[in-house]
Amino acid sequence: MPTTVRMAALWAGVLLAAAGSTVALLAVRPAGANGEPPRVVVISPGGGARQIAGALAEGGVIRSRWAFLALAALRGDLRLLKPGEYEFTMPATLPEVEAKVAEGRTVVHLVTFPEGFAVREVAARLGAEGLADPDRLEALARDASVARRLGLDVPSLEGYLFPDTYRFNRGMTEEEILRLMVGRFREVFGPAEEERAQALGLDRHAIVTLASIIEKEARVEEERPLISAVFHNRLRRNMPLQADPSILYSFPEKRGRLTRADLRQPDPYNTYMNPGLPPGPIANPGRASMRAALEPAPAGYLYFVARKDGTHAFSRTLAEHERAVRRFQGSRREGGSG
């Protein structure tokens, strides 16, 4: 072997030994001290191993970015390092930090969306949690091309972001969040629900739209099928649904009761002026409201009015309904099923 080659090999061996010694030394010297609170490091997506090592060093959870990279190389993890939000108990050892980032054990955020939340409310909650840009998420949710990418031929994802408790990781994109929530909807509204909708002469979009109105009208669980019956009966008779929540969907900032002027305001979601269902859902309904939309009670009611305790009085005729309105609201409202 030529002398120059032997010298190069010798120096390479020395450097590897030195690197191994440095890694070993730093591996047994944890970063931080006992009694320190946990440290959170957010690693942005799109960076490589060096950027990840730099973020960890700046976060104070490793002593040397080069030692981190050397250990990741020795373990064969350089291509496995993942972005995201990580929490490290202090003091933190180099092997523990490297293993957590290589395995992608990121912080999980549990976020609950109640039944009846609209897209804007979903976006606002995610924004408040710092998990998404609320304006971007809402814009994507209202983009028909995004809905198509998620397998839904609908103009908006309103109604299809299933209310539930979700596990989110910081760093997820807004579209990834929407995909997760739409996926949950698909688990709840499957082939059996599609078949039942067809038996009612409706498609999935109509059922979800109807369920969203039921969700906003119902305050008592057992009344959902009765409210559903009112709307199904009206649809069969081509009567306006006259559902207040559908009008309020167009005026989310409105406070107080609707006025007669509101009921005469031209709008696609005005179910007083327009017969049939509105163009789409007005909220994201839960499982119970979707079941009620698919399984209305066998009742001949055409009207209902709210009592002060949140329940409703149901009527079959307009005369009965007007008596109920005078009794429970003190004044006559025009028409009104709800």
pLDDT digits (tens, 9 = 90+) for 71-109: 999 999 999 999 999 999 999 999 999 999 999 999 999
pLDDT > 60? residue 256: yes
The Cα–Cα gap between 39 and 61 comes to 7
- Among 8-22, 164-178, 181-195, the range scoring the smallest mean pLDDT is 8-22
pLDDT for the residue 176? 96
Mean pLDDT of 237-248: 93
pLDDT for the residue 331? 54
pLDDT for the residue 80? 95
pLDDT for the residue 171? 81
Q: Which helix (H) or strand (E) holds 280?
A: none
pLDDT for the residue 252? 76
pLDDT > 90? residue 46: no
Alpha-carbon distance values, 336 to 232, 234, 325 (Å): 15, 11, 9
pLDDT for the residue 260? 81
Q: Is 271 helix (H, G, I), strand (E, B) or coil?
A: coil
Confidence tier at 173 by pLDDT (50, 70, 90): very high
Mean pLDDT of 213-222: 95
The Cα–Cα gap between 333 and 272 comes to 12
pLDDT > 60? residue 324: yes
Which single residue is written with the structure tokens 């369920």?
211
Of 12-21, 150-159, 300-309, the range with the highest mean pLDDT is: 150-159
State pLDDT tens for residues 131-143: 999 999 999 999 9
Task: Specify the DSSP class assigned to residue 31.
Answer: B
Q: Is 306 helix (H, G, I), strand (E, B) or coil?
A: strand
Q: Is 70 helix (H, G, I), strand (E, B) or coil?
A: helix
CATH H-level superfamily of 27-103? Endolytic murein transglycosylase (3.30.1490.480)
Neighbours of 76 (CB within 10 A): 9
pLDDT for the residue 2? 54
CA-angle at 228, arms to 222 and 233, nearest 5°:
135
The Cα–Cα gap between 196 and 295 comes to 9
Domain residue extents for the chain: 27-103, 108-188, 216-329
pLDDT for the residue 29? 75
pLDDT for the residue 286? 97
Average confidence score pLDDT of the chain: 89
Q: Let me know if 216 is exposed, middle or buried by CB neighbors in 10 A (0-12, 13-18, 19+).
A: buried
Tokens of 323: 């008596």
Listed in sequence order, the residues at least 6 apart from 278 whose beta carbon sits closer than 8 Å to its beta carbon are 209, 213, 246, 249, 268, 269, 271
Mean pLDDT of 279-285: 97
Percent of the residues in the chain that have a pLDDT greater than 90, as a whole number: 76
